[in-house]
Amino acid sequence: NTLVTLENRPSGAVKVSDFGLKTEKVRELKNGEFLVNIEALSMDPAIRGWMNPGTTYIKGVELGTVMRSFSAGKVIDSKNDSFKVGVYVEGLLGAQTHAITDGTGIRIINVENSKLTHHLGVLGMPGMTAYFGLLRRGEPKPGEVIYVSAASGVVGSTVGQIAKIKGCTVIGSAGSEAKCKYLIDECGFDHAINYKTEDLDAKLKEYAPDGVHIFYDNVGGDTLNTALANLAQGARVVICGAISQYNDMGNIQGPANYMKIVTARGYMTGIIVFDFIKEWPAATKEIAGWIAEGKIHVKEDVVHGLENYTETLMMLFTGKNFGKLILTV
Ligand code: NDP
Asked whether the predicted pLDDT for residue 254 surpasses 90, the reply is no
Torsion of CA 224, 206, 150, 188, to 10 degrees: 150
Nearest partner of 129 among 324, 320, 272, 246, judged by Cα:
272
Nearest to 40 by CA among 300, 320, 315: 300
Would you tell me how many other CB atoms lie within 10 Å of the CB of residue 32?
14
Mean pLDDT of the chain: 96
Q: Is the ipTM of this complex over 0.85?
A: yes
CA atoms within 13 A on the CB side of 269: 16
Q: List strands edge to edge, sheet with 267-270.
A: 191-194, 169-174, 145-148, 212-217, 231-239, 267-270
Pick the CATH number of 2-122+298-328 from 3.90.180.10, 1.20.59.10, 3.30.565.10, 3.20.20.140: 3.90.180.10
Domains of the chain by residue range? 2-122+298-328, 125-274
The per-residue pLDDT for range 202-218, each reduced to its tens digit, is 999 999 999 999 999 99
| 176 CB within 6 A, ligand 1 | yes
Residue pLDDT, tens place only, 27-55: 999 999 999 999 999 999 999 999 998 87
Q: CB of 44 closer than 6 A to ligand 1?
A: yes
Helix (H, G, I), strand (E, B) or coil at 60: coil
- Which of 243, 301, 315 has most ligand 1 atoms within 8 Å of CB, for mutation? 243
Confidence of residue 272 (pLDDT cuts 50, 70, 90): very high
H or E element at residue 214: strand 212-217
Tell me which DSSP letter residue 112 carries.
Answer: S
Q: Say which CATH topology domain 125-274 has.
A: Rossmann fold (3.40.50)
Strand 231-239 versus strand 267-270 pairing type: parallel
Cβ of 175 closer than 6 Å to ligand 1, yes or no, is yes
How many angstroms does the Cα of residue 219 sit away from the middle of ligand 1? 6
